[in-house]
Amino acid sequence: MNYENYQRLRLLSYNIQAGVDTQHFGQYLTQGWKHVLPHRERLANLNGIASMIGSYDIVGLQEVDSGSLRSGFLDQTEYLAHRAQFPFWFKQINRSLGKFAQHSNGVLSRMRPTSVDEHRLPGLPGRGVIVCHFGREAGLVVCIMHLALGQRARLRQMRFVSELVAHYTHVIVMGDLNCSGDSREMQLLLQSSNLREPCCQQGTFPSWRPMRKLDHILVSESLLVENARVLDYPFSDHLPIGIDVLVPEGLELAA
């Protein structure tokens, strides 16, 4: 196929576990203190993530800390944006525990968004979705989210997201969805929207023995995709996923 009339965007989604690099299940117990208190290895881990994401155009982050005791009061979204030289970034604090934890989603972009919206997801407090608009009314919409652990809550959240994106033509949805591609809730989203998942069935969790595909990037039928892949960068207990999206040249993405 001739791709001369398409522009390429490289996208990545990553649950970074607030900069903690878990390497086996036992560390959830023995190193659980890292989720509460600061430690010097966290910054080195963030620097590794920054080096890895530097070649991408849009990065969606989940389980980011926005500046609390455990992160050394470092806004991790902002830090990664500056370290990897992304000029535009946005954070969504979904669960604030004051100075002890600031659970957030984040987005980094090399293009200026036309607008950025944030929505609270149904269910218990603490889950949200960031919606970034690029270009004019018929431009590109990118959603970053982290869904609940329970299936009942995820079903409600998937219905909410499907209604949120229903009237857009060019859409990308990505994040830690906490479910597999053949799950009931994922099928609900795919069947009630024009979204599809590129063929990449490799697991993303746990990062040291990835058996479950919990992290996903879904795209609308209007967008072509190449290089859908799971990347072997175990800086977290999840592996990152990336795709190249080919956007029709007539689709203006500039703000």
Residue 254 lies in a domain: no
pLDDT of residue 20: 86
pLDDT of residue 217: 97
pLDDT in tens, 222-242: 899 999 999 999 899 999 999
Structural domain range at position 129: 6-248
Residue 253 lies in a domain: no
Give the chain's domain count: 1
pLDDT in tens, 15-36: 999 988 878 778 767 677 667 7
Asked if residue 186 lies in contact with residue 218, where contact means CB atoms within 8 angstroms, the answer is no
Residue 180 lies in a domain: yes
pLDDT < 70: residue spans in the chain: 1-4, 28, 30, 33-34, 254-255
Residues with Cβ within 8 Å of residue 133, at least 6 apart in sequence: 113, 114, 115, 116, 117, 139, 140, 141
Residue 152 belongs to domain with CATH number: 3.60.10.10
Residue 255 lies in a domain: no
Residue 1 lies in a domain: no
Structure token digits, residue 89: 């970034």
Structure token digits, residue 226: 């190449």
Residue 234 lies in a domain: yes
Handedness of CA 37, 43, 48, 53 (dihedral sign): positive
Chain centroid to Cα 67, Å, comes to: 19
What average pLDDT does the chain have? 91
Residue 137 lies in a domain: yes
